[in-house]
A and B are shown apart, each in its own frame.
Chain A
Amino acid sequence: MRSNILENCMLNIGYWILAAVAMAAPLTLTAASRFPQPEFDSGYVAHKMPHPAPDFAVTPMMDILILVVALCIAVVLVRKVRSRNWILFFGLICLGWFGFIRNGCFCPIGTIQNVALSLFTGVRLPLVMGLFFAVPLIFSLLSGRVFCSVICPLGALQELFIVKPLRMPKSLDATLRIIPLIVLSVGIVCAVNGAGFIICRTDPFVGIFRQSAALPMLLTGMGVLLVGTVVARPYCRYFCPYGVLLEICSLISWKQVELTSNECINCRLCVGMCPVDAIEAPRPALSDKVRGRQFKQFLYLLVFLPIIILAGAGVGHLAGAGVAQLHPGVMLVEKWQSVEEHDEDLFPSIEAFKRSGGTIEQAKMQAAEIVGRFREGCMYSGVFIGLILGLRLLVLSKLQGRKVHQASRSRCVACGRCFSVCPNK
């Protein structure tokens, strides 16, 4: 017992002496010199740890090739085969590959941030990442949003949970459709200014693909799927930032989804079937008088456009300080100001900042600079959002008449339900 206590004492004393020596050693003294490497008499040979290499299943170029081939197949299915069942079946295959095998990362939605970061800071990306961002956009320039229905694992997953889609009221729909614009711009501002990848963090489904998620993410994902039973594809329509870009490309796309390969007989069956309200009904050609009035309204809106853009810039500038709270540098200062001095070392972020030789004044200066950059970034975002909203308003004044039903270029995600009900295939 006594020897035990003695040993204990010696051990502790030894420990603290060594500790004191180690701590007192100037920082320039390299750690490896504290205890020399022994030479062994017993013929002991150290064997090094093995370090497993990352397992990607396919080479980067294969990755891109698979994406391109899948998109080509999707185009053929939507334009030539025109079968809802084949689209669904191929969607499931893609969900398996892009979702559960490749774990949903990285996906074109997330690469927006990498590309933005690279454009603004000059950090070069792997080519495969740039192509993952660009290829679906190019395809949507050529033949609409086929990426959404078939390839995108998030879309394909939500597609499976559509049970009884409700019509969204137009005003609610228009309001909610502002969210993706905000997500896109805030995501880019955060990524460029070093506040992390917000778009990735708010992806509700990636935990399902990894089959490992924190509880909040799992609950959000399940909640979105649950809402998706009545509001079809809620993530795609009212959150997805990549959808904004796809929408812009598909508005001017070469080909678009055609409801029927024959002549439309205006039976309206597809309108009831479409889960995302993407079918535009025919409207009579306007009389000259009404047309003139509409055109006047259009011109008024055109004059109004700069005002909307300016308002967007102002709101963005004001919101910038709030968005900046997402930046770790700003969070650090807030935390630092709220803790007592003797508690400072309890917080790793403060400890790390102090170890790098910084003081709270420096942290404050940095945070102020960050807030400034966020204000600027959010101001440009406001301009962008204002411009898109203004354009959406302008599109509301429809001057041309149309005789048949048509799939909306911007909203249609090519799920193929309309193909299956069309009586005049």
Chain B
Amino acid sequence: MKNEDKDLTRRKTIGWILRAGIGAVIAAIVVKTSRRSSGGRLVWQIDPRKCIQCGKCETACVLQQSAVKCVHGIQMCGYCKLCFGYFKPDAPRLDEAAENQICPTGALIRKFIEPPYFEYTVDEDLCTGCGLCVKGCTNFGNGSLYLQVRHDICVNCNACRIAEVCPSDAFVQVPENDPYLLKELLPRET
């Protein structure tokens, strides 16, 4: 009887040593991996300086309607009459008719302000994030149109599907309290 008691106590002690050991390892992992500065979460965003407008943002997102949309940094815009983000290279005329527009959904809105300037705005409900306008504006214009993850739509997957297929590693994680990388506010070089 006494022997069995001893056996039980020994087993219990070994159990607690093992538990304490594994618990300590887990605690050490948490301490080693976590940032000291803040406990906040990270969200996905596109660095517009790295984006090559490959068009995968439109199709790779796990949501049916991609969380990536075109935004317009209007402080950078040249208000061009011939906007390379708005008109197709072979546009028959320089007006708002659908056949002249690059945007497949008509989400880029062109509004006359004063000669010779036009204002361009994005209708986010229509935008699919294909980046065709961004390509034109970046390559030939001021680059004021660019793609961003819209956080009212994004569900913040742990592993962003678009980030995984992004050919230029333009997807980065940013703190949740500063969730946009607005091109007009960023330093030019990456």
Contact of A138 among B23, B93, B152, B161 (CB under 8 A): B23
Which residue in chain A gives the minimum CB-CB distance to B53? Answer: A348
Is A337 in contact with chain B by the CB < 8 A criterion? Answer: no
A348 and B158 contacting across the interface, CB-CB below 8 Å: no
B74 and A252 contacting across the interface, CB-CB below 8 Å: no
Question: With a CB–CB cut-off of 8 A, which chain A residues contact B43?
Answer: 54
Most buried by A among B155, B164, B188: B155
A348 and B54 contacting across the interface, CB-CB below 8 Å: yes
Is A12 in contact with chain B by the CB < 8 A criterion? Answer: yes
Question: With a CB–CB cut-off of 8 A, which chain A residues contact B90?
Answer: 12
8 Å CB interface, B115-143 against A:
117, 119, 121-122, 138-143
Contact of B151 among A35, A38, A52, A114 (CB under 8 A): A52
Which residue in chain B gives the minimum CB-CB distance to A30? Answer: B188
Is A201 in contact with chain B by the CB < 8 A criterion? Answer: yes
Question: With a CB–CB cut-off of 8 A, which chain B residues contact A138?
Answer: 23, 26
Please count how many residues in chain B sit with their CB below 8 Å of the partner chain's CB atoms. Answer: 78
Contact of A53 among B18, B76, B82, B179 (CB under 8 A): B179
Query: A325-367, CB under 8 A of B: which get 1 and which 0?
Result: 0001000000000000000000011011101100000000000
Is B104 in contact with chain A by the CB < 8 A criterion? Answer: no
Contact of B159 among A53, A134, A197 (CB under 8 A): A197
Segment at the interface with B among A3-11, A144-152, A281-289, A299-307: A3-11
Query: A196-223, CB under 8 A of B: which get 1 and which 0?
Result: 1100110000110010111000000000
B113 and A348 contacting across the interface, CB-CB below 8 Å: no
Question: With a CB–CB cut-off of 8 A, which chain B residues contact A423?
Answer: none
Question: With a CB–CB cut-off of 8 A, which chain B residues contact A141?
Answer: 19, 22-23
A127 and B35 contacting across the interface, CB-CB below 8 Å: yes
Is B3 in contact with chain A by the CB < 8 A criterion? Answer: no
8 Å CB interface, A14-50 against B:
14-16, 18-19, 22-23, 30-32, 34-38, 40-42, 44, 46-49
Chain B residues at the A interface, C-beta cutoff of 8 Å: 15-16, 18-19, 22-23, 26-27, 29-30, 32-36, 38-43, 52, 54-56, 62-64, 71-72, 74-80, 82, 84, 87, 89-94, 113-114, 117, 119, 121-122, 138-144, 148, 150-152, 154-159, 161, 164, 167-168, 176, 179-180, 182, 188
Given contacts A4-B92, A124-B34, 4 further A-B contacts (CB under 8 A): A15-B140, A31-B143, A32-B188, A348-B52
16 residue pairs A–B, Cβ–Cβ below 8 Å: A11-B93, A47-B74, A53-B176, A111-B158, A114-B33, A118-B33, A119-B29, A126-B41, A130-B33, A133-B29, A201-B161, A212-B64, A348-B52, A348-B54, A348-B55, A348-B168
